[in-house]
Amino acid sequence: MVRKITDIVVYTNPETLGHKRDLNYYESWWTFSRMPKDFDDMSKFYFAVERKVVGYFLTVWITKKRVHFNPLSWRRLSRKIPCEKFRGFRYRWWGR
């Protein structure tokens, strides 16, 4: 059976992303009021700022309301993906 990969995107301000990215810990988290469906520890956790998706963290584990990720796993996208501002999360909408 092929596993469906569900990546998500959150929109934040540059300062918050910078804080998460610059942590020298092996774990940070993002809290949700409603967790995405089919999001698991193999999914990528993308961040958008200033109307562009700019990169992602690798997910470490997921609890009932939080996504835990490794701040040291930050990967910048070589091609930024345009987007509008939004609240909450969005599922990845562009191709792999």
Say whether 16 sits in a helix, a strand or coil.
Answer: helix
Q: What CATH number should be reported for the domain holding residue 24?
A: 2.30.130
Q: How many domains does the chain have?
A: 1
Q: What is the pLDDT of residue 70?
A: 92
> Any alpha helices (H) in the chain, and if so which ranges?
14-22
Low-confidence ranges of the chain (pLDDT < 70): 1-5, 96
Q: What is the pLDDT of residue 4?
A: 67
Report if residue 96 sits inside a domain. Answer: no
Half-sphere exposure of 61 (CA within 13 A, CB side): 4
Q: What is the pLDDT of residues 41-59, one digit of tens each?
A: 888 999 999 999 999 999 9
Report if residue 66 sits inside a domain. Answer: yes
Report if residue 94 sits inside a domain. Answer: no
Q: What is the pLDDT of residue 2?
A: 57
Q: What is the pLDDT of residue 41?
A: 82
Domain that holds residue 34: 8-88
